[in-house]
Amino acid sequence: MRRAIALFVEDKPHLLIHSRWLHQSWSHIGCEDTDLVFMGTRSALEKLPPDVIRIEQRPVTDDPGWLNYGYVNSIACLDHPSAAVLNDYDMVLRSDVDTLLTRAWNCFHPTELTTGRGAYSNDDKVRENVTRIASKFGYTHRGVTNVGSTIYGPPRLVRDICRLATDLTRYIRTVEFGTEKGQWPSWYWGVSTLYATEIAVNHLVPSFRSPSRELLDYVSTSTERVDGHPHIHCWHTSKFFSKFEFHKGAYDHIEERSLDLDVVSEYCLSMALRARR
C-alpha cells in the first residue's frame, strides 16, 4: 500500500516552521509507505526539506472573489489538475501543516473514510444553517456534524469531497457571510471550510461513521500515550503543547533529552525542537 499526506503550504514563517514539525515526525517514525506531498507556491516549496514531493500551484485565493479567505487553499489544492498525481496512491490524508504523525500511523489502516472531530458545531444556529445550505443545493445531510479538517480515504473520494467543499466554501464565505463575520463560537465566517466539508462528507459518503478525535486531529495538549493517536493537530490553545507558546519562546528552557516521547504533548515539543535544531 502506498499512502500520501497532502498539504498546502504558504510562504509564511510560522507555516513553514509547522511543516518542518510534521516532516520531523514523519522522519522519526520511519513510515516507508507514506509520502509527504506539499502543494503551494514556488517560493514556499523551495524552503521545504529535500525528501518531500512538491507540486507548484497558484493559490485559488489569488482570485479577489474569495475575499482573502486563505483557509480554502488547504482544500482547493486537491481540486487542482496537478493534484491528479494523488490518484496513484491507495489512500490519501488531507491535512493542515500544523500536525504531526506518531508511530501509531504505521498501523493505521481504516477501510472506510475517516475524519478527525471538529469543534465548530457548538449550537443549534450552526447546525440549522449547515443543514439549510445543504438542502438549498439539494445535498443529502445524514446528521453527522463536527467533521474535522483532516480527511483520510481513497484519493478520488477525498478529492471529490475537497472539490465540493471548495465550491460550497465560496458560497458560504461570500454569500452567507459577505461583509459580516458572525460570532464565534456560534455561526462564524472563519470556519466556512469546515461547514462546507461537513456538507460534502454527508452528501458523498453514505456509510460515513461519526468522526473520532482519538485517531485524527488529536489534541497536542494531551498527557496520554501516543499509541492509539496516529495524527496530532496543534489546536488554538495556550496549554502545553501550544504552537503559539512555542513561537513565543516559552519552551526554550526545556532540554529535548528530558522529554518523554511516549507522551503526546512532550512528543510534540520534542519534534518541534528537533526540527528547529
Distance of alpha carbon 24 from alpha carbon 121, whole angstroms: 32
C-alpha grid cell for residue 2?
Answer: 502506498
Q: What is the dihedral of CA 185, 189, 191, 195, to 10 degrees?
A: 100
CATH ID of 3-276, from 3.90.550.10, 3.40.50.300, 3.30.70.20, 1.10.10.10: 3.90.550.10
Residue 208 reports pLDDT greater than 90 = no
Per-residue confidence (pLDDT) for residue 211, from 0 to 100: 78
Convert the pLDDT of each residue in 120-156 to its tens digit.
Answer: 999 999 999 999 999 999 999 999 999 999 999 999 9
Give the strands of the sheet with 114-117, arranged side by side: 53-56, 34-40, 3-9, 91-94, 147-153, 114-117
Convert the pLDDT of each residue in 53-108 to its tens digit.
Answer: 999 999 999 999 999 999 999 999 999 999 999 999 999 999 999 999 999 999 99
The string of DSSP letters for 121-143 reads --SHHHHHHHHHHHHHTT----S
Domain-by-domain residue ranges, the chain?
3-276
pTM of the model as a whole: 0.95
Residue type, 42: R
Half-sphere exposure of 26 (CA within 13 A, CB side): 21
User: Crossing angle of helices 192-204/124-136, nearest 10°?
Assistant: 60
Whether residue 268 contacts residue 232, with contact meaning beta carbons closer than 8 Å, is answered with yes
Whether omega for the bond prior to residue 241 falls within 30 degrees of 0, making it cis, is yes
What is the chain's length?
277
